[in-house]
Structure 1
Amino acid sequence: MQYNTEYESKLQADEQIIGIEDNITATLRYEPDFISEEPADVATIEDVRRLHNIPQLAAPGEQQTVVIMDSGIDTSHPVFAETSVTQIDVTKTGGSDDAVGHGTAVAGQVTRLAPAADLISLRIFGSEGRIKMNIILRAYEWLHKNHDQYNVVNMSWGNQKRSKRLDRIHTKLIEKGVRDVVAAGNTGAKSGSPATAKGAFSIGACTKDGKMAEFSSYTPNGDNPDVTAIGKDNRLAQATGTNMGKSLDGQWVKASGTSFAAPEVSGRIAKYIDIKGD
């Protein structure tokens, strides 16, 4: 401990060192404590279209690619039957499956709103719902190098606190012209990176009636969130062998979190680009 303290002091004294930060842990923006016990209390994709005025048939997202930076996508789910999904894994575990179920749920929201859009599964979470900075950095390296290969990146994850380092990396990605969609967080008046990055487009959660969800991060002084979308009791695609949320009929679950509000915005952006063009 003494050695580490002395070493840190030397680093801080170095004029070339900007600062020292802890190795952050990022988690999924899923909120298991705020799921209604009543099976009938569920927000369907039709509720999303109604509340946010999203046309069902017009502009299906053709020639658009959305990166789902998450826990993977179970492409065996029927919702992806006609969707092109490219699998990229930066966890270095050699997998492409979704052991958590989160990424499949997120991707399903995008696909149902922009069915013609291609997806890239940028897998950063393995079987655990948390990751360290080294994996995040590998994913951002891929995003930076391949920024011309996609139109939107959805990030339904984040840190509980602000990380200046992560925010800087995220802002540089935006400066390259990347359209980011980031879950604001589920911690009320608090928030964390990358939603706190300069220029980040952060998404809060509301109910299907348009009321702010009680768990959604809301820090107006920090410009977070920018908009809200339905993130309470969402009906979501379920990955095979997973039990995230509360089971519904068929391969569907009910779950809450800004995680599921963000992809509704990503899907709408893909539709908007399809209509307006770049």
Structure 2
Amino acid sequence: MLLGFVPGALAEGRHQASAQRGTPGQPNSQARRGKLDRELTARAALQPTETSSVIVTLQPGAQLPTELRTYAKQEHGNLAIINGRTLTVPNSILSKLVADPSILRIDFDRPIARANYRTAMTVGARPVNKGLGLTGAGVGVALIDSGITEWHDDLTNRSTDLYPFGDQRVSAFVDFVNGRTTPYDDDGHGTHVAGIVAGNGRDSRGQKAGIAPDASLVSLKVLDANGLGTISNVIAAFDWVVAHHDEYRIRVVNVSIAAAVHESFWTDPLTLAAKRVVDSGVVVVTAAGNLGKNAAGLPQYGGITAPGNAPWALTVGASSTNGTIQRADDTIANFSSHGPTFKDWTAKPDLVAPGVGTISLADPLSNYYTTKAQFLIRGSEETATMPYLTLTGTSMSAPVVTGTVALMMQANPSLTPNLVKAILQYTAETRPG
């Protein structure tokens, strides 16, 4: 469904159709589109009495027309990163917007969703932490997700740096959903991701520490209590990163969320916003998605979700450690999405990392704490609540790479996003699948 397929559409079995080919670095025929995207074209024709949330991208230097300002989203609706605005408009006026010369294009504000010791040992993070002294100290990591817990022992500060929310390594918290000003995570996904990146393992005597246990975290909440949101909030979060990455020393942003691919990455406002972040010198790490098989259990291609379908994103699929700390028996997780990408036919993901049975932080005030109670895990210390939770998915794989990037940036702050991707791919091990 994330790719717009009807249930079971790809479940009939194998086919003999030949694949289309593209030219690297150039848009293919799928990148051509009109001012109005396909979804809004259909809504204008079939649902004229209803309203739609849209992203209006303006021509360079243009301002939002006065008559449209009444439709504009007031909080976090200004998407300067793509010279755009978020509006909620009647479908009946969409054709009028197309005729406005100040508007470059109009896109549907489509939905998004949220797509440990063993892991840290398997990928080599713990020897790097202990042997080389690289822990992510001094590196800021932005998490675009469902928020972050107000408190967890594993997020306490072991440095002399001061943080605004007490003894928690959270440098900033911005809520694009409800506008609250202090950290919280009503869903639980973001807290789990945060622990994979930067948990210090305090409640497990270090065994369940994350990859970069001294990194500073910036939490940008774009998903609600049910793990759902829209791409406009992600674009607004990207905009915030570009504006504040120097202030908070942000070198990498983790995006463990998934949006359907409705158009080429050359024209999608979400992927274009991700490019602005990369152009500012910040690495964008994204989850590949969990669409590796169809309803018939056969491999499914074209399942990479946005913004991971873009070449400037560092897109991460999932592997399984198969319960050991040795890499020799690691396998590709069968649920992990793979390319070629829908619309653009590019090779993805860029890397895989452990994403099966990943143990990380639990937030006792989140929905996950009750809906996934059977996956809660005790620590090594006495705590009032269960401090850990086991989850599976490419959402868990991406932060493994994000934490690794933080270690790389601590070791060599001059690294660029392209160099980071090149080094990781060049030094990665090849696995079948």
Provide the residue aligned with 1:134 in structure 2: 232
Please say if residues 171 and 198 of structure 1, whose CA atoms lie closer than 8 Å, have aligned partners that are also in contact.
no
User: Structure 2 matches for 1:64-213, cutoff 5 A?
Assistant: 64-82=139-157, 83-86=168-171, 87-94=173-180, 96-111=183-198, 112-148=210-246, 149=248, 150-162=250-262, 164-188=268-292, 189=301, 190-209=303-322, 210-213=330-333
Please say if residues 162 and 192 of structure 1, whose CA atoms lie closer than 8 Å, have aligned partners that are also in contact.
no
Please say if residues 158 and 185 of structure 1, whose CA atoms lie closer than 8 Å, have aligned partners that are also in contact.
yes
TM-score (norm 1): 0.86
Between Structure 1 and Structure 2, whose CA radius of gyration is higher?
2
What amino acid is the match of 2:398? A
Q: 1:211 to 1:137 in 2, by over 3 A?
A: same
Provide the residue aligned with 1:230 in structure 2: 354
Please say if residues 145 and 223 of structure 2, whose CA atoms lie closer than 8 Å, have aligned partners that are also in contact.
yes
State how far apart, in whole Å, the 2-side matches of 1:178 and 1:85 are. Answer: 18
What amino acid is the match of 1:118? S
Residue identity (%): 28
Provide the residue aligned with 1:47 in structure 2: 118
Matched pairs, number:
263
Does 1 or 2 have the higher relative contact order (CA < 8 Å, sep 6+)?
1
Two-structure CA RMSD over aligned residues (Å): 2.1
Please say if residues 106 and 259 of structure 1, whose CA atoms lie closer than 8 Å, have aligned partners that are also in contact.
yes
Write the deviation string for residues 146-183 of structure 1: whole angstroms up to 9, x where unpaired: 13231111111120224511111111211111111111
Please say if residues 162 and 191 of structure 1, whose CA atoms lie closer than 8 Å, have aligned partners that are also in contact.
no
Provide the residue aligned with 2:137 in structure 1: 62
State how far apart, in whole Å, the 2-side matches of 1:218 and 1:16 are. Answer: 38
Unaligned runs of 5+ in 1: 30-44
Provide the residue aligned with 2:337 in structure 1: 217
Query: What secondary structure does 2:107 align onto?
Result: coil
TM-fit CA distance, 1:75: 4.2
TM-fit CA distance, 1:16: 5.5
State how far apart, in whole Å, the 2-side matches of 1:92 and 1:49 are. Answer: 34
TM-fit CA distance, 1:116: 1.6
